[in-house]
Amino acid sequence: MSKELKITIDGCEMTAQEGRTILEVARENGVHIPTLCYHPRLRNAGSCRVCVVEVEGARALMPACATPVDRDGMVVNTRNERVLAARRMTVELLLASGNHDCPNCASNGHCELQDLAYELEIEHPRFPIQPPDLPFDNSNPMIVRDLNKCVLCGRCVRGCQEVQVNQVIQFGFRGPHTKIVTGGDTDYADSPCVFCGECVQLCPVGAISEKQRMPYGKAFEEKIVRSVCTYCGTGCVVDFHIINGRIVRVTGNEDAEVNRGSLCVKGRFGYDFIHHPDRLTMPLIREGDSFREASWDEALSLVAERLGRIKEEDGPEALAGFSSARCTNEENYLFMKFMRGTLGTQNVDHCARL
Ligand code: SF4
Ligand code: SF4
Ligand code: SF4
């Protein structure tokens, strides 16, 4: 079992389990340390240097995400001038090495680089701005790439490898020519990508984003509503991002035990049916060979009357009900209670039952 150690962060003494990182201990105790390449669902890369802190006794600044608490009496400073100057230098270099025109970026308001610039009070980088001038990749229907905004944090690479175990995305080329590539520098559609969108969700900036969102507004306009994906019985928890009453993108809920932020291609990108003009939004009642629209009250009264009549004339065993794996557990439970408790039949089944 790991030892409990006493350490001091920004003058406050706190208890830490030996081996926990400085970042984890700081966050558990309400101390803010900014990050960029770090994501709690991924292995630590310790590569961006945004989370550097000063550890007394160490000559260099240390990345908080990759430095374990390893001794009693450790003293850490997270916000002194030396630390802030190093973070500013890193963020200014990132801003200068890309095309970061925030007002014209779909991620405006939902971007960790933008948040860092605000936090560190950077209005303009002190270095000349030299974006890599890479072509905008708009060649598939789900994901767009603008690698001129990429900060090479590697979150997409680790997400594809570690979470989805797909190994589609890599760092390609070397030195100043380094860039993110899919399938040996081809488009997503020509690579082994399964379009799960894990890389889109993990990208902290506007380098990889959802294509369907683009015409409908910016990230800062979004209202988020939590729900459950209805494509299968797994029950992944989703966040609907809504602008002016329209769902503009879907992300996996990072706190949900069932999917921890991940989704499949259907759950993440298959939501255009919701606003499709052909979608049924009113009940239909059959009359001869055709259907007519009806109110919910009329439709439900008709169903109740017909079910009641069948039960009275032929008994409850003449009735059967089939539910669906697309419903939530709660909806399936209620359906089962309705069939057994209200109609009095055991004839109730479900497509996902083995
Ligand atoms: S990626 Fe972030 S910092 Fe860059 S332009 Fe978009 S919002 Fe601004
Ligand atoms: S969409 Fe999924 S499979 Fe495709 S590159 Fe991104 S993480 Fe990998
Ligand atoms: S595309 Fe996004 S997630 Fe991938 S390395 Fe670039 S900034 Fe990071």
Nearest to 269 by CA among 140, 162, 139: 140
CA separation for the pair 349, 339 (Å, rounded)? 10
Whole-angstrom CA distances from 110 to 244, 268, 286, 324 are 18, 18, 48, 36
> What is the structure's pLDDT at 48?
97
Q: Which two tokens stand for residue 235?
A: 């029950």
| Distance from the alpha carbon of residue 250 to the mean position of ligand 1, in angstroms | 20
- List of domains in the chain: 4-89 (3.10.20.740), 224-275 (2.20.25.90), 280-308 (no CATH), 315-354 (no CATH)
Contact 87, 63 (CB under 8 A): no
Nearest to 225 by CA among 253, 264, 197: 253
pLDDT per position as a tens digit, 175-202? 989 999 998 899 888 999 999 999 999 9
Phi-psi category of residue 183: left, alpha or beta, with phi > 0 → left and psi -120 to 50 → alpha: left
Q: Is 114 in the pocket of ligand 2 (CB under 6 A)?
A: no
Which amino acid type is present at position 124?
H
> What is the structure's pLDDT at 354?
57
CA separation for the pair 201, 250 (Å, rounded)? 9
pLDDT per position as a tens digit, 20-76? 999 999 999 999 999 999 999 999 999 999 999 999 999 999 999 999 999 999 999
CA separation for the pair 60, 53 (Å, rounded)? 9
> What is the structure's pLDDT at 255?
96
Q: Is 111 in the pocket of ligand 1 (CB under 6 A)?
A: yes
pLDDT per position as a tens digit, 200-210? 999 999 999 99
| Distance from the alpha carbon of residue 80 to the mean position of ligand 2, in angstroms | 39
Q: Is 207 in the pocket of ligand 3 (CB under 6 A)?
A: yes
Nearest CA to ligand 2 atom 3: 193
Higher pLDDT, 326 or 127: 127
**What does the DSSP assignment read for 201-225?**
HH-SSSSEEETTTGGG--GGG-EEE
